[in-house]
């Protein structure tokens, strides 16, 4: 049976092959003949159409030349007119080279005669156009040429129709051949159909299996793509947050380092500044370490060490960093020691401290009222140290708890906007706890606070070194070393073009500290007038001013041959902003808030030193109580200028005047940043972005944040101006 099926299948296949071969041979013979004829006919139609197009193009060229007044354009169009004739000639030669039907000869003879009539008329019209003959003569020549070319087109249309008819006849002949082979194909088709059913069953089964595998693969790819897209969005959001988080402590570090160098600073003021610098520096170091640790973890290169760590010294360092921040927010903070505790543990001090700082700063961030505590205990049976960070903050849902170990992730974007943060701390804490031989466990409830429990290996503990009471805790000292920065005074006259009075006052203080004579202009137009009537060694030009902005003013100065140095001074600090300033003629570029080191360095490039220089402490950023003039400027900003700015911003948001909102937010950003109010500067910068996005709801939310900050500044002013900056910067 098996062999019979195989033989029968073979005979059927052979029969089908023979029948198909005969049918294919006959069909190919017929198709070859028809194809050859159709190919020739199509070629003739193509050449005839090319000739028609050439004639129409020559007509268009003549019509175009009739409307051209410029002689050069006329010559160019005349050249195109003659080039079109070349296309006609080439197509005609190719057409005549093809086999010709009996009834085509008469048409070709007629075409030749019509060309001999039309060509001189075309040439005559072109020559009249080129010689600028009277328009009536030209019109008459154009009409004659058009009439002759129309007859030529009619003959070509007749030739095309003839070829189309020939092609149609060839198709009819092909159909006749097809009909002759029809029954043979029907027979073959029946045999093939039977075979096709068998093959189809096999193929269908195979394709179904392959399709199922493909669907599974596509599902995997879709899931992978979704995860990759989510990761990309999360990382983009993280980078935006990180930029803000890094700039905040840097601003505080630079600002308070500068104020501590004033000779009129009291020791208490310097101590306050130093403490703020230390806290901000540690915060910045934490952010940088988080980023570096993340890259190491993702590359599986995070290394931990096991050394002796004085437990209470490490906890004191954490307390020194966290407690001032808690007090500043009005929160209770403390470390609860559950004795006995080991004096020394064997772990990685950097990683363990990093975990605690991450958890504590996170708890402070999300706690508005109440407390943040650290509970410390030792589990002797497991040789593990248990650290609990307990807060009374906003709490988390179960879904949010499940995400805490994912990098770049916060509960939602609104949380990021409200509380800030990079979204790395908890993720890194999870991974580092595992690296230290333990784990991070979270218990939380919405609106009832959270408890972060960290278990880490403590190593082998000498029971003789256990601490059983607070009186046995050793004391530790911390050393600090700071060095002042010295510079020399400068000479020369500087024009400051700046529309904000507060910024004018601040820049005036900075420049006078360097012994520089300064003059002010409220906008670019006034700056131009002052340059015409007075002599300046340097211009500091704000880019965004009313009446005339800095870009326009600098452009006019350079166009009129002004060669003195001009330095752009603007709150817009993007690369494109800098390039625009340099393109219009600025020699240099400075951003707001003012970096005094960069400020002095830039001035030193364009202004000579004082002939008899004397050393002075480089006042990098004025302290609010070390300079009476600056204190007055701060007070004026908080009591007069700032309320006016906020009123303008509020009206712009209500009217949805996005251009005005961008300008008002830009002004507030520059002034608040220059005066050291970094948090207000950052929120103002965010409002500029929302103005560009025309997002009224988010702009209103940011305005509420600014109003809260303004309220705090007003209250702080009642005690002393310095307390305003100290308080706000410590929050940053």
Helix axes of 71-97 and 2-67: crossing angle, nearest 10 degrees: 140
Break the chain into its structural domains and give their ranges.
Answer: 2-180, 267-472, 486-617, 628-731
Tokens of 5: 């099926």
What lies within 8 Å, CB to CB, of 670 at 6+ separation is 500, 503, 570, 571, 592, 593
Residue 667 CA to its chain's centroid (Å): 24
**Is 2-180 a CATH 1.10.3860.10 domain?**
no
Strand 538-542 to 566-570 pairing: parallel
Tokens of 32: 């070859």
Handedness of CA 579, 583, 584, 589 (dihedral sign): positive
CA distances from 582 to 225, 497, 545, 547, 556 (A): 42, 17, 18, 21, 14
- Given a contact cutoff of 8 angstroms between Cβ atoms, the answer to whether 164 and 31 are in contact is no
Tokens of 660: 């005005």
Quick one: which of 674, 706, 652 has its CA closest to 596?
Answer: 674
Tokens of 528: 């131009």
Strand ranges, E, within 522-643: 538-542, 566-570, 588-591, 616-617
Q: Give 470's DSSP letter.
A: G
Q: Is the pTM here over 0.75, yes or no? A: no
Alpha helices in 68-104 (DSSP H): 71-97
Helix axes of 524-533 and 550-559: crossing angle, nearest 10 degrees: 30
What lies within 8 Å, CB to CB, of 36 at 6+ separation is none
DSSP-based helix, strand, coil % in the chain, nearest 5: 65, 10, 20
CATH superfamily of 628-731: HPT domain (1.20.120.160)
Tokens of 120: 């001189």
Quick one: which of 402, 386, 490 has its CA closest to 437?
Answer: 386
Return d(Cα 558, Cα 209) in angstroms, integer: 75
Q: What is the largest CA-CA distance in the chain?
A: 126
- Given a contact cutoff of 8 angstroms between Cβ atoms, the answer to whether 276 and 730 are in contact is yes
Tokens of 270: 């310097």
Q: 479-516: b or e for each residue (b if 16 or more CB lie within 10 Å)? A: eeeeeeeebeebebebbbbbbbbbbbbbbbbbbebbbb
Handedness of CA 710, 712, 717, 723 (dihedral sign): negative
pLDDT of residue 342: 92
pLDDT of residue 616: 31
In this structure, the number of other CB atoms found within 10 A of the CB of residue 441 comes to: 14
Q: Give 542's DSSP letter.
A: E
Strand ranges across the sheet with 538-542: 517-521, 493-497, 538-542, 566-570, 588-591
Return d(Cα 503, Cα 673) in angstroms, integer: 10
- Given a contact cutoff of 8 angstroms between Cβ atoms, the answer to whether 625 and 494 are in contact is no
Mean pLDDT of successive 10-residue stretches along the chain, which has 732 residues = 55 68 67 72 81 82 82 82 81 79 75 80 80 81 80 79 74 69 69 65 73 83 76 58 64 73 69 74 67 59 80 90 84 92 90 89 89 93 91 88 68 44 69 88 90 90 82 67 50 92 83 88 94 94 91 94 92 76 93 81 89 40 46 80 91 92 88 78 85 90 87 69 43 40
How wide is the angle at C-alpha 408 spanned by C-alphas 402 and 414, nearest 5°?
Answer: 80
Tokens of 6: 């195989």
**Which backbone phi and psi does 156 adopt, to 5 degrees?**
-65, -40
In this structure, the number of other CB atoms found within 10 A of the CB of residue 343 comes to: 19
Strand 332-337 to 371-379 pairing: parallel
pLDDT of residue 59: 79
Residues 279-295: pLDDT tens digits?
777 667 666 766 655 55
DSSP string for residues in 678-724:
HHHHHHHHHHHHHHHHT-HHHHHHHHHHHHHHHHHHHHHHTT-HHHH
Quick one: which of 84, 156, 148, 86 has its CA closest to 122?
Answer: 148
In this structure, the number of other CB atoms found within 10 A of the CB of residue 44 comes to: 24
CATH class of 486-617: alpha beta
Phi/psi zone of residue 489: left (φ > 0), alpha (ψ -120 to 50 degrees), beta? Answer: beta
pLDDT of residue 574: 66
Residues 442-485: pLDDT tens digits?
999 888 899 999 999 988 887 777 888 888 888 765 443 333 33
Return d(Cα 574, Cα 580) in angstroms, integer: 10
Handedness of CA 138, 143, 147, 149 (dihedral sign): positive
| Site of tokens 């800095």 | 550
Return d(Cα 309, Cα 317) in angstroms, integer: 13
Return d(Cα 635, Cα 631) in angstroms, integer: 6
Alpha helices in 260-310 (DSSP H): 267-298
Return d(Cα 81, Cα 130) in angstroms, integer: 12
**Is 267-472 a CATH 3.30.2320.80 domain?**
no
Which three-class secondary structure state does DSSP give residue 340? Answer: coil
2-180 and 486-617 share one fold: no
């Amino acid at each position: 049976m098996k062999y019979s099926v195989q033989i029968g299948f073979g005979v059927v296949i052979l029969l089908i092959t023979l029948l198909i071969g005969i049918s294919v041979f006959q069909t190919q013979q017929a198709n070859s003949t028809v194809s050859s004829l159709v190919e020739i006919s199509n070629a003739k139609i193509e050449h005839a159409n090319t000739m028609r197009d050439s004639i129409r193009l020559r007509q268009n060229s003549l019509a175009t030349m009739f409307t051209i007044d410029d002689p050069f354009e006329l010559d160019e169009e005349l050249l195109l007119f003659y080039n079109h004739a070349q296309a006609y000639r080439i197509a005609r030669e190719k057409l005549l080279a093809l086999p010709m039907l009996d009834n085509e000869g008469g048409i070709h003879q007629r075409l030749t005669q019509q060309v001999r009539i039309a060509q001189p008329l075309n040439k005559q019209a072109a020559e009249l156009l080129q010689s600028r003959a009277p328009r009536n003569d030209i019109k008459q020549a154009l009409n004659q040429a058009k009439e002759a070319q129309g007859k030529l087109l009619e003959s070509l249309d007749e030739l095309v129709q003839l070829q189309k008819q020939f092609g149609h006849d060839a198709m009819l002949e092909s159909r006749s051949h097809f009909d002759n082979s029809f029954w043979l194909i029907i027979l073959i088709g029946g045999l093939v159909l039977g075979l096709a059913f068998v093959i189809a069953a096999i193929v269908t089964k195979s394709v179904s299996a392959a399709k199922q595998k493909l669907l599974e693969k596509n599902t995997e790819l879709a899931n992978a793509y979704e995860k990759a897209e989510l990761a990309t969005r999360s990382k983009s959001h993280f980078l935006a947050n990180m930029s803000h988080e890094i700039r905040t402590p840097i601003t505080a570090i630079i600002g308070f380092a500068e104020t501590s160098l004033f000779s009129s600073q009291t020791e208490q003021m310097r101590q306050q500044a130093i403490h703020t610098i230390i806290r901000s520096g540690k915060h910045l170091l934490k952010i940088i370490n988080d980023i570096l640790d993340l890259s190491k973890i993702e590359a599986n290169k995070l290394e931990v060490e096991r050394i002796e760590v004085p437990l209470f010294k490490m906890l004191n360092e954490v307390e020194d960093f966290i407690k001032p921040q808690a007090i500043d927010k009005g929160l209770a903070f403390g470390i609860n020691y559950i004795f006995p505790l080991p004096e020394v543990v064997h772990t990685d001090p950097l990683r363990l401290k990093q975990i605690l700082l991450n958890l504590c700063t996170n708890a402070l961030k999300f706690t508005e009222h109440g407390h943040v505590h650290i509970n410390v205990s030792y589990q002797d049976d497991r040789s593990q140290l248990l650290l609990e960070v307990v807060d009374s903050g906003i709490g988390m849902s179960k879904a949010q708890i499940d995400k805490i170990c994912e990098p770049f992730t916060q509960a939602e974007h609104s949380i990021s906007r409200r509380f800030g943060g990079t979204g790395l701390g908890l993720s890194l804490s999870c991974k580092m706890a595992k690296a230290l031989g333990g784990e991070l466990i979270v218990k939380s409830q919405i609106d009832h606070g959270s408890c972060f429990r960290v278990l880490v290996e403590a190593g082998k503990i000498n029971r003789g070194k256990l601490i059983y009471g607070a009186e046995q805790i050793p004391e530790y000292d911390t050393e600090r070393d700071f060095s002042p920065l010295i510079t020399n005074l400068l000479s020369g006259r500087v024009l400051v073009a700046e529309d904000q009075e507060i910024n004018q006052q601040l820049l005036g203080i900075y420049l006078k500290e360097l012994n520089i004579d300064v003059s002010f202009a409220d906008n670019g137009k006034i700056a131009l007038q002052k340059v015409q009537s007075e002599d300046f060694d340097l211009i500091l030009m704000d880019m965004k001013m009313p009446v005339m902005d800095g870009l326009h003013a600098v452009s006019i100065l350079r166009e009129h041959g002004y060669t003195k140095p001009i330095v752009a001074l603007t709150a817009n600090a993007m690369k494109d902003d800098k390039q625009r300033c340099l393109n219009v003629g600025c020699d240099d570029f400075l951003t707001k808030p003012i970096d005094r080191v960069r400020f002095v360095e830039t001035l030193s490039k364009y202004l000579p030193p004082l002939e008899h220089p004397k050393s002075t402490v480089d006042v990098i950023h004025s302290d609010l109580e070390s300079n009476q003039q600056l204190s007055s400027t701060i007070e004026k900003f908080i009591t007069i200028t700032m309320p006016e700015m906020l009123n303008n911003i509020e009206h712009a948001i209500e009217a949805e005047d996005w251009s005005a909102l961008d300008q008002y937010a830009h002004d507030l950003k520059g002034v608040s940043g220059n005066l050291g109010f970094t948090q207000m500067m950052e929120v103002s910068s965010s409002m500029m972005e929302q103005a560009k996005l025309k997002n009224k709801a988010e702009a209103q939310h940011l305005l509420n944040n600014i109003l809260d900050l303004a309220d705090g500044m007003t209250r702080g002013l009642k005690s002393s101006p310095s307390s305003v900056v100290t308080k706000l910067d410590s929050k940053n």
